[in-house]
């Protein structure tokens, strides 16, 4: 759950979650801030008396000034309040969901940017790249997205999903999925999972972001064993591999396994923190960002966690990665319900809007040459020819003026000078 593009009707005071009055109370406690865990009752978000542990304390050093502590506590309360609203079932209405889906289905590349004109290099298909650690749920997310926009709810799943997420080969071949089927407006690219070698991940991502991605391409890493390389190459079908065009990546969706991230949050040693370190290192790779736009983040497997833990994950991720937990981090569990569907649509809209916003401009020189008409080119060539002829004639006149006088002419002048 997350996003900010769809604006549902504002609930009446009776409909608002009961947390508003308590969490926005200006009187703040002097002890470190703790946040009540939450649950859903009768279709509304409510709170109980349990308290979340010190994981909600601010990450990083802060001044001991009481003013800064209170300001920090108030800021965090506001963040939790904003994130909490995304889980409220009252914000989801069938009309809103239908309008949001219709917006995605009517999308064409470059349509969501003002005055796109001919100054931008608009692709035929907008490409969204999914990146994440092994078992994070990239393939499952693609299936959920595809199912939302399929007319046939009983259609088979498009992406292969491992029964045991952390066991097996996973995705070794780049896979392209048009959304919806048969469309050419935008596609999702399922990729090979990140490895434990951070530098290897950076090299792999840099290649995708600079050289593009191609459906069916086998991704082999230096750390892969010879046995694995042989097994993967046996699966390659030479007649189909690399048969499609290379696509430039227009935006990135970063997928995080919620349970694994929470375990890493609660880990005390360096080994327990490895998952968070992997996420942070790869997410901050400069090639994943488009100017100031960082990737959108999707947290999966939230259905295995309590609502309070899901809140903690989103807020902690936001603080760790420097993005808004309410507007750029989306909680998409395995469940299939209106809230999850709306969250998926909001995530896609955010990604497509930012992909359009960062379309590259055309090369200025080539663009100007392309705009010059044939008569203008002919006129330019004529003027250039006249200029060359004039320059040549001037050069000949100068040479003639500098030519030495004859002997008789020099003698006549000399006699006149003597007289």
Query: For the segment 322-334, what is each residue's pLDDT rounded down to a tens digit?
Result: 999 999 999 999 9
Mean pLDDT for 65-74 is 84
Least confident of 202-216, 238-252, 320-334, 344-358: 238-252
Q: What is the DSSP code string of 261-310?
A: HHHHHT--STTTTHHHHHHHHHHT-GGGSBTTBPPEEEEE-GGGS-HHHH
Q: Given pLDDT bands bounded at 50, 70 and 90, which one contains residue 227?
A: confident
CA-based nearest residue to 187, from 215, 218, 219: 215
Whether the ω angle into residue 180 lies within 30 degrees of 0, i.e. cis, is yes
Say what the pLDDT of residue 365 is: 40
Query: Across the chain, which distance is largest between two alpha carbons, in Å?
Result: 128
Q: How confident is the model at residue 61 (pLDDT cuts 50, 70, 90)?
A: very low
Specify the pLDDT at position 33. 35
**For the domain 116-362, what is the CATH code?**
3.40.50.300
SS3 335: coil
Angstrom distance (rounded) from CA 314 to CA 312: 6
Q: What does the pLDDT read at residue 141?
A: 95
Average pLDDT, integer, range 282-303:
95
pLDDT of residue 368: 46
Asked if residue 418 has pLDDT above 90, the reply is no
- Measured CA to CA, the distance from residue 103 to residue 351 in angstroms comes to 13
For residue 230, pLDDT over 90 is answered with: no
Q: For residue 226, what pLDDT band results from cuts at 50, 70 and 90?
A: confident
Phi, psi at residue 46, to the nearest 5°?
A: -135, 175
Q: How confident is the model at residue 225 (pLDDT cuts 50, 70, 90)?
A: confident
- Rounded mean pLDDT, 139-145: 93
Q: Which of 79, 191, 74 is nearest to 128 (CA)?
A: 191
| pLDDT for residue 96 is more than 50 | yes
**More confident: 164 or 387:** 387
User: What pLDDT is stored for residue 399 in this prediction?
Assistant: 57
pLDDT confidence of residue 326: 94
The residue ranges of every structural domain in the chain are: 116-362
Q: What percent of the chain has pLDDT above 90?
A: 42
Task: State the pLDDT confidence band at 125, using cuts at 50, 70 and 90.
Answer: very high
CA distance linking residue 348 with residue 351, whole number of Å: 5
DSSP code for 405: P
| Mean pLDDT along residues 60-78 | 75
Q: Are strands 186-190 and 175-179 parallel, antiparallel or unpaired?
A: antiparallel
User: Cα(172)–Cα(165) distance, rounded to whole angstroms?
Assistant: 14
For the cut 80, the answer to whether the pLDDT of residue 386 exceeds it is: no
pTM beyond 0.85: no
pLDDT digit string, tens, across residues 35-56: 444 455 555 555 443 433 344 4
* CA angle (175, 176, 178) in 5-degree steps: 150
228 pLDDT band (50/70/90 cuts)?
Answer: confident
pLDDT band at 260 (very low <50, low <70, confident <90, very high): very high
Classified as helix, coil or strand, 188 is: strand
Contact 219, 173 (CB under 8 A): yes
Residue 327: the pLDDT is: 95
Q: What is the pLDDT of residues 275-289, one digit of tens each?
A: 999 999 999 999 999
pLDDT of residue 133: 94
């Amino acid at each position: 759950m997350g996003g900010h593009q769809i604006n549902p009707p504002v609930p009446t005071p009776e409909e608002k979650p009961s947390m508003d009055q308590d969490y926005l109370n200006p009187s703040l406690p002097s002890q470190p801030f703790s946040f009540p865990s939450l649950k859903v009752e009768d279709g509304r978000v409510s709170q109980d008396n349990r308290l979340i542990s010190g994981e909600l304390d601010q990450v990083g050093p802060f001044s001991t000034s009481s003013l800064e502590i209170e300001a920090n506590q108030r800021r965090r309360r506001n963040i939790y309040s904003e994130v909490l609203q995304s889980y409220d079932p009252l914000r989801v209405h069938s009309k809103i969901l239908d309008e949001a889906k219709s917006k995605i289905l009517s999308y064409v590349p470059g349509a969501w940017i003002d005055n796109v004109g001919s100054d931008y290099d608009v692709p035929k298909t907008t490409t969204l790249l999914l990146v994440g650690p092994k078992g994070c749920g990239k393939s499952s997310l693609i299936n959920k997205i595809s199912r939302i926009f399929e007319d046939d709810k009983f259609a088979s799943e498009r992406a292969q999903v491992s029964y045991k997420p952390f066991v097996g080969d996973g995705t070794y071949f780049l896979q392209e999925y048009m959304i919806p089927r048969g469309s050419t407006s935008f596609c999702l690219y399922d990729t090979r999972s990140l490895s434990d070698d951070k530098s290897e991940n950076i090299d792999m991502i840099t290649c995708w972001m600079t050289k593009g991605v191609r459906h069916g391409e086998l991704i082999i890493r230096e750390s892969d064993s010879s046995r694995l390389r042989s097994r993967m190459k046996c699966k390659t079908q030479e007649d189909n591999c690399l048969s499609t065009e290379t696509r430039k990546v227009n935006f990135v969706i970063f997928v995080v396994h919620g349970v694994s991230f929470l375990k890493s949050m609660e880990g005390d040693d360096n080994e327990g923190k490895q998952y968070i370190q992997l996420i942070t290192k790869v997410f901050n790779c400069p090639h994943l960002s488009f100017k100031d736009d960082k990737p959108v983040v999707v947290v999966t497997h939230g259905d295995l966690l309590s609502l309070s833990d899901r809140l903690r994950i989103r807020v902690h991720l936001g603080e760790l990665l420097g993005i808004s937990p309410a507007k750029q981090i989306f909680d998409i569990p395995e469940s299939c319900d209106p809230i999850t569907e709306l969250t998926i649509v909001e995530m896609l809209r955010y990604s497509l809007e930012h992909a359009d916003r960062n379309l590259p401009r055309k090369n200025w020189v080539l663009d100007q040459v392309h705009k010059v008409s044939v008569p203008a080119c002919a006129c330019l060539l004529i003027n250039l020819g006249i200029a060359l002829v004039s320059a040549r004639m001037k050069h000949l006149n100068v040479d003639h003026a500098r030519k030495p006088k004859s002997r008789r002419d020099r003698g006549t002048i000399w006699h006149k000078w003597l007289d």
